[in-house]
Amino acid sequence: MAGRDAYLDHLGSIGLFSALSRKELARVARASDEVKVKAGHELARQGDVGREMFVLVDGEATVRRNGRKVTSIGPGAAVGELSLLDRGPRTATVTCDTDCTVLVLGAREFTSLLDEVPGLSHKVMGRLATWVRDLDSQVYG
């Protein structure tokens, strides 16, 4: 397993968790599972119902939407946050280009964290509000 501090750094760099304290990030890390996947493995497939999010700890992956490459991602990147929150369909397909190590946080574990960690819900809602404001600004100026 990678170093605990490295996991906390990866989790803390993710927008959804950026407002959390180190102690709260440690709770998220403990609720996550480390999984090693081979090159070619799809972490998420566009349109499929999602129930978890993934944080790349090691490796590289490609994000495609409607069959077109959107970006390449590496350590510290997160995918699946929206499906974690609403269990809705994936908005993109993410395929590992290399062997990858990922942290997987499931919806059940995330919901338990929201119940167990005081203030986490408020921090997550604050971050979501920031995303909505940013998107509103991009669309409407």
pLDDT 10s digits, 43-57: 999 999 999 999 999
Work out the burial of residue 68: count CB atoms within 10 Å of its CB; fewer than 13 is exposed, 13-18 middle, 19 or more buried: exposed
What is the Rg, in whole angstroms, of the alpha carbon atoms belonging to the chain? Answer: 15
pLDDT attached to residue 64: 98
pTM: 0.84
Domain 4-140 has CATH 2.60.120.10: yes
SS3 assignment, position 30: helix
The pLDDT, as a whole number, for residue 4 is 63
Q: What is the model's pLDDT at position 106? A: 93
The partner residues of 52 in beta bridges, in order of sequence, read 106
Extract the residue ranges of the chain whose pLDDT is less than 70. Answer: 1-4
Query: Would you state the pLDDT for residue 1?
Result: 45
